[in-house]
Amino acid sequence: MLHIPQSIIDEMTAHARSLDPVECCGIMAGTTSGENAHVSHIYQIKNGDNSPVSYFMDPKELLWVHKNMRSNQLDLLVIYHSHTHTQAYPSATDVRLAFYPEAHYVIISLEMKDQPNIKAFRIVDGKIDSAELLVVNPSSK
């Protein structure tokens, strides 16, 4: 199960809204314990595509993130991005570019602007499986 603190969900949502209609993208890192992944860090990464239908993480920022994770002994747990006008489900492009089978893929949909929808997936060898996402310390909004 993927555990993400409400504060990180809020930061990802703000990131997605701030770039809309361009897709946002980033990485979440933390630790794993058995079958559970506990997110503790979020890294917003520039979308080099600057596109409403695709993302490409800026290579320099991505390198810095990997170095930071390594120096802080963190695991890459999540690759996230937004869908600005479609549902929170991996597109054919998302599946084709899912190069990290150990990672969760989190998609935040802004299809309904006032009610973002967030879902988690595992994508391995082109197969999409829903993943359980637990928001830790949820706010009472």
Q: What is the pLDDT of residues 102-127, one digit of tens each?
A: 999 999 999 999 999 999 999 999 99
The CATH number of residue 125's host domain is 3.40.140.10
For the chain, give the percent of residues with pLDDT over 90: 95
Number of domains forming the structure of the chain? 1
Three-state DSSP at 35 gives coil
Four-point Cα dihedral 31, 33, 34, 36, nearest 10: -70
What's the pTM value of the predicted model, to 2 decimals?
A: 0.95
- The answer to whether position 25 is within a domain reads yes
The DSSP element (H or E) to which 16 belongs, if any, is helix 6-19
State yes or no: pLDDT of 139 exceeds 90: no
**Domain ranges, residue 97:** 2-136
State yes or no: pLDDT of 140 exceeds 90: no
